[in-house]
Structure 1
Amino acid sequence: MIRFALPALALATIGCTQTPPPGAEVPGVECNAAKLGTLVGKTRSAAVEAEALKLSGAKTVRWLAPDSAATMDFRVDRLNLYTDASGKITRSGCG
């Protein structure tokens, strides 16, 4: 039974860690989290999310609280906003 489980597990995880090749660019999509330093310390809200999208150039936002589960897929149009337990932004990143 175990000899069948390991190959199945390997096949199941093949597509989970796709990243673009180095230097790859997607026309019209730019996420720049370096511009978001002013948002650190602000509490999660619709207004803060709208400001983050405007400043970063991203198309979508993913809020990540401590101990939250997240996929490892890379999306060039997504901004990740990391928060503490009270919902205040601690850092940001693209992907």
Structure 2
Amino acid sequence: MERRRKHLFALASPLLVTTMLAIGACAATPAEPPATANPAPGSCDASKAQFAIGHDAGLAIQDQARERSGAGVVRTVRPGQIITMEFRADRLTLELDASGKVTRVRCG
């Protein structure tokens, strides 16, 4: 009887682990947080930096956009550039075209 119990446990353990991994894999990936009407201090509000679209992304535009949005940092992203995908509520991202003009402004 003891031998049978060990055999059942040996079969059940991998099944339990596999089931737990499958359940974990089904968990939803968090989406980008929605923009809020009143962002928390130190966070970014991209709506206040939309003026930058169409401008060259020089240091003056980057500084103005960062200040108006309330972001702590600003980054520029060129077409095809590899970037990190973690969301930072205090970061303003200026997406550029090939000529260096701002095409999109977003937080994260």
Instruction: Classify 1:58/1:21 alpha carbon distance in 2 versus 1 (closer, same or farther; 3 Å).
Output: closer
Residue of structure 1 aligned with 2:80, choices 59, 62, 67: 67
Compute the TM-score of the two structures, normalised by the length of structure 1.
0.70
Matching residue of 2:50: 37
Which segments of structure 1 move beyond 2 Å, counting only runs of 4 or more? 17-22
What secondary structure does 2:57 align onto?
coil
Q: In terms of Rg, which structure is larger?
A: 2
Q: Deviations over 1:43-72 (max 9, x none)?
A: 011100110111100000110000000111
Residue of structure 2 aligned with 1:77, choices 90, 102, 108: 90
Compute the TM-score of the two structures, normalised by the length of structure 2.
0.62
Cα RMSD, aligned residues only: 2.5
Q: What is the number of equivalent residue pairs in this alignment?
A: 77
More helix by share: 2
Residue segments in structure 1 that go unaligned for 5+ positions in a row = 1-16
Instruction: Classify 1:38/1:21 alpha carbon distance in 2 versus 1 (closer, same or farther; 3 Å).
Output: closer
Residue segments in structure 2 that go unaligned for 5+ positions in a row = 1-28
